[in-house]
Amino acid sequence: MPDNVPWGDIVTKGASEPNDTEIEEDENEDEPQLDTDKKHNSGAADLEKVTDYAEDQEILSTGNELEDAIVTIRNKQAQKTAEKLAKERELAKVVISKEHVDLIIHEMELSKEKAERTLREHGGDVVQALITLVNAPA
């Protein structure tokens, strides 16, 4: 060995340079790996397409169901509003006595609106209105 080469720098030729057989083996090992990577990536891409399609269908069906639900809710709200309006019209037709309203206001210590409403709900019958107010929960 030459004296001017430090011990750490000495490398044998066979260990550092691969021979031709080793190079061919390395290349052959990479080819099957590339094939499996292509197959894997292709399968993943196909799966992604199917998943995207399924998600899009779910979103579309959910959107349609949501629109149907909103329409149903609006129809129910309109129906309830119409029923309330019809009930208010019926109550407004009931004739009540001013003396009965004053009696309920003073005896039950209620507002005029509440006294009139209760009398109208009971067809102007002051006794039934008072019984209902007395037995009503606080």
pLDDT tens digits, one per residue of 47-103: 677 777 777 777 766 777 888 899 999 999 999 999 999 999 998 898 999 999 999
Residue 16, number of CB atoms within 10 A of its CB: 7
Residue 7 has pLDDT above 90, yes or no: no
- The predicted structure's pLDDT at residue 51: 74
Cα separation, 47 vs 42, in Å, equals 9
Q: How confident is the model at residue 138 (pLDDT cuts 50, 70, 90)?
A: low
Q: Minimal CA–CA distance to 90: which of 114, 126, 122, 115?
A: 122
Cβ distance 101 to 116 under 8 Å? yes
Asked whether the predicted pLDDT for residue 37 surpasses 80, the reply is no
Confidence of residue 33 (pLDDT cuts 50, 70, 90): low
What pLDDT is attached to residue 56? 73
Report the chain's C-alpha Rg in angstroms.
45
What is the pLDDT averaged over residues 36-50?
66
**Who contacts 5 (Cβ-Cβ below 8 Å, separation ≥6)?**
none
Q: Residue 90 in contact with residue 101, Cβ under 8 Å?
A: no
pLDDT tens column, 99-134: 999 999 999 999 999 999 999 999 999 999 999 999
Can you give the pLDDT at residue 136? 84
More confident call, 42 vs 128: 128
Report helix, strand or coil for 95.
Answer: coil
**Residues 132/118, Cβ–Cβ less than 8 Å:** yes
Question: Taking Cα atoms as reference points, which of 75, 99, 79, 98 lies closest to residue 87?
Answer: 79
d(CA 71, CA 80): 14
DSSP 3-state of 99: helix
